[in-house]
Amino acid sequence: MKKPCSHLEVTEHHRKAPVHPSGHGCMECLKDGGDWVHLRMCLTCGHVGCCDDSPSRHATRHFHASSHPVIKSFEPGEDWAWCFVDEQLVERIPTFPGESPPVHYSAP
Ligand SMILES: [Zn+2]
Ligand SMILES: [Zn+2]
Ligand SMILES: [Zn+2]
């Protein structure tokens, strides 16, 4: 197995404080009235954005705009993390309370 990249290494072992999700849905889609499939949360700033199966792919766009490297799934029961820079996945990361939603949030 490949060793996780430095970003995922930090994500797995060296996070000291929780990030706070920006809201109960994709930040940009909520503003624009867009729809999404699944949600992802930026582990640098808590930006919640929609996945690449969604029409607007705001999580990926947030990475390109901000260079924040790692997202976590923001779906119930899913604690995987993905590094955009190295295109690597970790299947389960330790999380803090509030980082995983209790339910799937769908667009209003
Ligand atoms: Zn990385
Ligand atoms: Zn979106
Ligand atoms: Zn971010």
**Domain residue ranges in the chain:** 6-14+23-90
pLDDT bin (cut points 50, 70, 90) of residue 34 is very high
Consecutive H or E run containing 50: strand 48-50
CA of 25 to the centre of ligand 2 (A): 8
Question: pLDDT band at residue 1, thresholds of 50, 70 and 90?
Answer: low
User: Residue 65's Cα: distance from chain center in Å?
Assistant: 15
- Over residues 85-95, the mean pLDDT reads 97
Ligand nearest to the CA of residue 68, numbered in listed order: 3
| Residue carrying structure tokens 């849905």 | 25
Ion ligand 1 neighbours (CB, 5 A) are: 5, 7, 83, 85-86
- Distance between Cα 2 and ligand 2 center (Å): 31
Q: How far apart are CA 26 and CA 47, in angstroms?
A: 8
How much is the pLDDT for 75?
Answer: 98
The model carries a pTM of 0.96
3-state secondary structure of 63: helix
Please check the confidence at residue 60 and state whether its pLDDT lies above 90: yes
Q: Evaluate whether the domain defined by 6-14+23-90 bears CATH number 3.30.40.10.
A: yes
For ligand 3, the distance from its centroid to the CA atom of residue 2, given in whole angstroms, is: 26
pLDDT of residue 84: 98
Q: How far is CA 84 from CA 18, 63, 68, 72, 102, in A?
A: 20, 7, 9, 11, 25
What local confidence, expressed as pLDDT, does residue 3 receive? 83
Tell me, in angstroms, the distance from the centre of ligand 1 to residue 9's CA: 8
